[in-house]
Amino acid sequence: MIIVLKRDVSDAQIQHIMDSVRGWNLTPNLSRGTERSIIGVIGDEAAVRVKPLEAFAGVESVMPVLKPYKLASADFHADRTQITIPPVRSGDKPVTIGGPEIVVMAGPCAVENREMLLELAAFLKENGATMLRGGAFKPRSSPYAFQGLGVEGLRYLAEERTVIGLPVITEVMDTRDVEMVAEVADVLQVGARNMQNFNLLKAIGRCEKPVMIKRGLSSTLEELLMSAEYVLSEGNPNVILCERGIRTFEKFTRNTLDLSAVPVLKRESHLPVVVDPSHGVGHWDLVIPMARAAVAAGADGLMIEVHPKPEEAFSDGPQTLIPRNFRNMMKDVERIAKAMGRSV
Ligand code: PEP
Ligand code: MN
């Protein structure tokens, strides 16, 4: 930590800062310059971070030297994290997220009914999807909008696992539901709106289920990594990061899909990175180009909304691919994955 002092800082103020730093069992090193003086603080940076240094008279700014995330950081992890989901049915292949294969999580925005879910899952499996997505608990902006089938939706997802065999990723919104959702889900999903629900993150951190954390609508990548840190610091190492678009002033798209998040997160962290172009752009015709771009940018996986009749979907119809377009997308993604030395 470096404390930059004000131009007109007094000796008494410097002394007070130095004494306080020593009082926290850290070592201050004063360096007097002609223009500016600084104090370098040596010791556990996490301990200094929580101190209100900027509140001290004479302090202009405080610059951390280390990153606030440790367990999520690539600096503290020799290898990239790979998360293996065992096959749901014997004879099927396990799914590895963060390995050479690109994982495709596809399915409806929400679980709407049993028949559609099973039929669609069979199609998706046949056409290269590696996981089924579908919300049973839906975080909707309006309390009057469809909130998901809840426990009934979980039952259909559980049935899909036994009948079709695609592993399931589904959202958990409430700490009280973590255990129940984890009984069905192969990967828990923390939605964008819950990215900073710290109690939920801690509860998920105490179970072993892999979790995919979606970037908040107005969250920085550092904040996303800190959310991952919450789960990791509770003991769950199986965290996947997901870029799903952020709020900007642009109106042609629902959100702005920040694809630079992919190389940044992969540089900063060892955790797998998935891109959700469906929520990222909000219009089905933009989903395929952005899915291609995500794979080209180095994403470890894609999350794609698919519905047999998007015009009748209970939620997010406009951004949802019909099955035929999903199949077309897979052909493109396969070619790009190959060019990147990967496969789907
Ligand atoms: C979803 O994937 O079902 C979803 C609600 O997305 P987000 O949390 O990114 O809005
Ligand atoms: Mn959706």
10 and 130 share a domain? no
pLDDT at 65: 85
Considering the entire predicted model, what is its pTM?
Answer: 0.93
pLDDT band, very low/low/confident/very high, at 96 (cuts 50, 70, 90): very high
Give the C-alpha separation, 277 to 256, whole Å. 10
Q: Kindly identify the ligand whose nearest atom is closest to the C-alpha of 139.
A: 1
Atom of ligand 1 nearest to the CA of 244: 9
Residue 77, domain member (yes or no): no
Cβ–Cβ < 8 Å for 215, 242: yes
128 and 211 share a domain? yes
Integer angstrom CA distances of residue 343 from 122, 304, 336: 21, 17, 9
Distance 45 CA to ligand 1 centre (A): 35
CB neighbour list of residue 282: distance below 8 Å, 6 or more residues apart: 245, 253, 254, 255, 318, 319
| CATH at residue 146 | 3.20.20.70
pLDDT band, very low/low/confident/very high, at 34 (cuts 50, 70, 90): confident
Cβ–Cβ < 8 Å for 304, 321: yes
Q: Which residue has the tokens 């990791």?
A: 232
Range of the domain at 28: 2-66
Residue nearest to atom 4 of ligand 1 (CA): 191
292 and 212 share a domain? yes
pLDDT in tens, 193-235: 999 999 999 999 999 999 999 999 999 999 999 999 999 999 9
Q: Kindly identify the ligand whose nearest atom is closest to the C-alpha of 320.
A: 2
Distance 27 CA to ligand 2 centre (A): 51
> What helix, strand, coil percent values describe the chain, rounded to 5?
40, 20, 40
Pull the structure tokens for residue 218. 């107005």
Residue 57, domain member (yes or no): yes
Give the C-alpha separation, 233 to 202, whole Å. 8
pLDDT at 89: 92
Distance 213 CA to ligand 1 centre (A): 10
